Amino acid sequence: MIQDGQLLNYIGGAWRRSHASDYLDVRNPATAETIVRVPLTPRDEVGAAVQTAQAAFADWRRTPPTERIQYLFKLKRLLDEHFDEIARLTTQECGKTLAESKGELQRGIENVEVATGIPSLMMGYNVEDIARGIDEHMLRQPVGVVAAITPFNFPGMIPLWFLPYAIACGNCFILKPSEKVPVTMSRVFDLIDELGLPPGVVNLVNGAKETVDALLDHPTVRAISFVGSSPVAKYVYSRATANGKRAQCSGGAKNPVVVLPDADMEMATRIIADSSFGCAGQRCLATSVTITVSEAGSAFKEHIANAAATRKVGYGLDNVDPRSEIAGIEIFGPVLSLMHVQTIDEAIDVVNAASYGNMACLFTSSGAAARKFRYEVQAGNIGINIGVAAPMAFFPFSGWKDSFFGDMHAQGRDAVEFYTEKKVVVERWPREWSRKF
């Protein structure tokens, strides 16, 4: 919520004005206009948010999962009803095209949908008679108060990688969105306010480094989810784990695409151009290096130069014919490097030499080459004849090497693992006790 040109925090089920002494301007990157001012929430206010979340946890964890997910069904309906409005806010504060904003919000909503399956996804397992009359069970229990810290390039989608799973599993959740793009989530939290959740189950604190550090240091926060640049991901992971917390920290990327001579060059160029230049080149799965193999080099160079020359830069909400190509591919300043090698083995060596391991793609018509590539490449997300291999919400959003610090990723079953603790119960009921009833 915005009051007097300033964003409020959402703590304990109510919008609250921060007593922060520092504020930042949030600007529309296309017009440089100031949209709103965002408070840099100080440590003591973060502490208050953690306390209210902890107070809510005792009852929320006892709320049956079938009841908890009813709030997610309502959230999905509200997000669908306000879809266009939220996407416009994302374009205004982030600068991407409206089509891109709608696309990311849709991917976020898909996570709300998957999290409604928590009653099944949270199931444990058991074995009867591990010894005579003794049974063993594995149960999943929520972790407690958990927090997520998110980046500027997907203001709608990335917070929804975490929030739905966290609360459906029975945790209480605190979001610290990017201080560069806090408006989208502020509006989403207006909708969350309409859900009637118990106060404290979800909270929103705005801010930057000091606010993040307060979450990383607070002993009651049990788990930290982070998405952003690699240096900050590494820092957050180190500080959170040093403080005894569970952490999943996704970092940056330098995603390579390999083009073999047998690739469909027209399709490969079109897809790589969209992957490199679309969304202002600001997707963590954007292609930033293309490695051509042997004769693919000259043909690809010519095609991609033509594709790059047709790109235009502008404001994502401007007067563009919605049927024109530019309506879907508007850009701000992307760069694609070209490299050339002679064999697929050399290409894979180049890919694997990189410190990042977020995504790698291959364009080919050879099944054998595709299998070799997916088998040998050291990256968490692989695309075969696909430019942006973004996993669906029911798969983990993977990432290796300097692109991810931790064990369990965002989305799908990994999210359930991350937001629950396993408890193993070994149980015996002697027969003579049973006879008393």
Active site residues: 284
Dihedral sign, CA of 361, 365, 366, 367?
positive
Q: CB under 6 A: which stretch of 187-195, 196-204, 248-256, 273-281 binds ligand NAD?
A: 248-256
The pattern of x and - marking residues 273 through 292 that bind ligand NAD according to CB under 6 A reads: -----------x--------
Please tell me the count of residues contacting ligand NAD according to CB under 6 A: 26
Phi-psi region of 145 (alpha: psi -120 to 50; beta: other; left: phi over 0): beta
Q: Indicate whether 252 belongs to the interface with ligand NAD (CB under 6 A).
A: yes
Between CA 433 and CA 129 the distance in angstroms is 18
- Compute the distance between CA of residue 77 and CA of residue 103 in angstroms, rounded to an integer: 17
Whether residue 251 contacts residue 233, with contact meaning beta carbons closer than 8 Å, is answered with yes
Interface region with ligand NAD, contact rule CB under 6 A, candidates 92-100, 250-258, 340-348, 425-433: 250-258
Mark the segment that binds ligand NAD (CB under 6 A) among 92-100, 110-118, 229-237, 331-339: 229-237
* Least distance to ligand NAD, CB of residue 120, Å: 26
Binder among 1, 139, 191, 208 for ligand NAD (CB under 6 A): 208
Instruction: Quickly list H helices, 82-197.
Output: 83-94, 98-115, 118-121, 163-168, 183-193
Q: Pairing state of beta strands 420-428 and 134-142? A: antiparallel
x/- letters, 145..174, toward ligand NAD (CB under 6 A): ----xxxxxx--------------------
Q: Closer CB to ligand NAD, residue 100 or residue 140?
A: 100
Burial 383-392 (b: 16+ CB within 10 A, else e): beebbbbbbe
User: Minimal CA–CA distance to 285: which of 293, 294, 275?
Assistant: 275
Using CB under 6 A as the binding rule, whether residue 178 contacts ligand NAD is answered as yes
Quick check: 358 binds ligand NAD (CB under 6 A)? yes
337: left (phi over 0), alpha (psi -120 to 50) or beta: beta
Only one of the segments 104-112, 188-196, 204-212, 318-326 lies at the binding site for ligand NAD (rule: CB under 6 A); that segment is 204-212
Comparing every residue's Cβ against ligand NAD, the nearest one is 228
Contact letters (x/-) for ligand NAD, 360-399, by CB under 6 A?
-------------------------------------x-x
CA-to-CA dists, residue 209 to 39, 150, 176, 214, 284, angstroms = 12, 12, 10, 9, 21
Min dist. Cβ of residue 245 to ligand NAD (A): 14
Q: Where does this chain touch ligand NAD (CB under 6 A) — which range of 23-31, 33-41, 175-183, 425-433?
A: 175-183
Query: Is position 232 an interface residue for ligand NAD (rule: CB under 6 A)?
Result: yes
Burial degree of 309 (CB within 10 A; 0-12, 13-18, 19+) = exposed
How far, in Å, CA of 66 to CA of 83, rounded?
Answer: 26
Q: Which amino acid is at 273?
A: A
For position 92 contacting ligand NAD by CB under 6 A, the verdict is: no
What are the φ and ψ backbone dihedral angles of 359, each rounded to 5 degrees?
-150, 150
Q: Is 227 one of the binding residues for ligand NAD (CB under 6 A)?
A: yes
Give the binding site for ligand NAD (CB under 6 A). Answer: 149-154, 176, 178-179, 208-209, 212, 227-229, 232, 235, 250-253, 284, 358, 397, 399, 403
